[in-house]
Structure formats: C-alpha cells, structure tokens
Copies of this chain bind each other. A is one copy, B any other.
Amino acid sequence: MIKTPVCDLVGIEYPIFQGGMAWISDGTLAAAVSNGGGLGIISAMNADAEYLRGEINKARELTGGKKPFGVNIMLASPFADEVAQVAADEKVPVITTGAGNPSKYIEMWLKSGAKVMPLVASVAMAKLLSRTGVSAIIAEGGESGGHVGELTTMVLIPQVCDVTDLPVIAAGGIADGRGVAAAFMLGAQGVQLGTRFLAAEECSVHRNYKDKILKATDISTTTTGKRLGHPVRSLKTPFIRAYAKAEYDSSISNEELEAMGAGSLRLAAVEGDAEKGTFLAGQIAGMVNKEQSAAEMIKEIFTEAEVILRGANQWVK
C-alpha cells in the first residue's frame, strides 16, 4: 500500500484525485473514483447552482454517503459566486479551484469544514495561496488537458515544493505508476489525473470522445488559444488545425477567434461532434489505451507505483 499525508488529510485510500473536467466530471464519475479509493471531483464548470447541487446529491447517493469527494470551482465561471456558496452549504469535503485566485471564498469554505486545495501553474501563485489557510496545493504542468500553464510538471513540482510546507499534489502528464513514482521523487505527496479517467467505464463522456482518447498517440494533442491569452490543450482535429491557423491570421479579429471556439467543448463531450467539437486531452493520452472501471485503474496505477518505488534504489550501489 502507498500512504501519504494526503490520504489522511482527505480520508482516502490512495493519494489520487480525479481532475475536475468540464462537461465530463459529473457526480457519477466522481463517485466511481471515490468508491475506488481515490478522490472523485465534480466539475462545477460554467453551470449554475442547481446543476452542482444535483451532481453533489448524485455523488452522495452513489457512494452511500460514505466516501469523501470534491467539487472543482472554475473561478472564471459566470456562476462562480453561486456555486461557491453551494459547495459551502452542502459541506463538500474538498474544494479545489481553477482558473484564478480563490482568496475571496476561502474563509467561507473553511467555515463550512471543507479542505480547500487551489490549483496553481506557477511558483508565485503557490507561494501566495499557501498562506491563505488552504490544506494543499495542486500544481499542474502544461502537459495536462484543458486550460494550461506554461511550466511542465517536471519543472513546476520541485519549485512549488520549495516554497510551501503544504502537501503538493502533482497534475499533468501522469497516467500510470511510473508517473506517480516520478511525481513523488519531485516532492509531491499525491497526484491528480484527468485524461486517464476519461477512459473510465463510469465516465459518461460521448463514445466518440472516449474512442479518440483510446486511439491517441504521443503527438495527438496541441495547444491553441495563446493569442487570446488562455491556451487550451486538446486533440488535434481539422477544427483545431483551422483554429490554430486562424490564430496567425491577423485579418481575423480576436472576437471572431473567440466566437470560433464557443460551445465546442459541449459539442465534443456531449454530442461527440468530430467536426466542430474541441476534445480536451492531456499529452499523456497516448498512454491511455484501455477502458476500465475507475477502481481498476486506481489499483493498477498504485500496484505499479509500489513496485517501482520499492525498486527505486536499484542503481544505488
């Protein structure tokens, strides 16, 4: 068994979180991960209070109310205030945040009894947020899917560990036991995986999306959106190639560019629209090759990590 302080902090069996993915990480997936011994996380995405309350109830029902789970608050959401309130009212055990600085909600969340864990992509944010009463820092490298920072996991994790005494959870580019073991060597005490859980049997993402992940190779993803200041990693598709080309065409305005991408995440996740969808995925998609239950995935990953960590001194003479 692998046990780190993150297990005790959250009350989970394995130090693994499932990332909050918009249109994908619903109560069903979160419950499957939590039932499998990890921490399932519901994405509040751009949805309203009613949606989030429904998914929280679903997760509670599917875990028999016996397992911790989390909610990810996307701070750029137009409904950020109301979903932040729901997370507190519902006494969600763990609240993670993305796309911004969650400082204004932290006091409310701590009062509700939640453990708060902001996601950061730079050393400065890690340093700043470490002092706000949060319980851990999720540091995400730019090889991850969805909105990405510039620093890679290999570079980010040790530098974040150097500026905080809180447990660090590594995200980005991890899909198997080797990634977990590497993250631990860099100083992390837990991992967060998104792309691998896209292939979970309990993941309700459209079949086309899942198949694209299963077929992806190492070079299947790219980032777009740098021109508008919010780069996003997704699978290369004809639509994404066209978008990337448009980014370098200064006769196309930023507004037109923005409009091109609008609604494309839903089209991918819900409709499986190969033409107009944006299929968010991490670079590690090339290593995600089989559909399994979330519980099997977790067990497999940590069985492998344990073997590797036990043999880590094989080259030390």
Contacts and interface: CB of A to CB of B under 8 A. Distances in A.
A141 to B, nearest CB: 7
B248 A247 contact: yes
A4 B123 contact: no
A9 interface: no
A173 B155 CA distance: 5
A309 B317 contact: no
Contacts of A123: 217-219, 286
Interface size class of A (residues with CB under 8 A): 35 or more
How many monomers of this protein are in the complex? Answer: 2
Contacts of A176: 158
Contacts of A185: 178, 181-182, 184-185, 308-309, 312
A144 to B, nearest CB: 10
Contact of A2 (B154, B155, B317): B317
A274 interface: no
Contacts of A181: 185, 312
Given A3-B317, A152-B152, A182-B182, 5 more contacts: A1-B317, A155-B284, A159-B286, A178-B186, A182-B183
Interface of A: 1-4, 15, 122-124, 141-143, 150-156, 158-159, 172-174, 176, 178-179, 181-187, 189, 217-219, 222, 227, 247-251, 282-284, 286-287, 306, 308-310, 312-313, 315-317
5 contacts: A123-B217, A124-B218, A152-B152, A185-B308, A185-B312
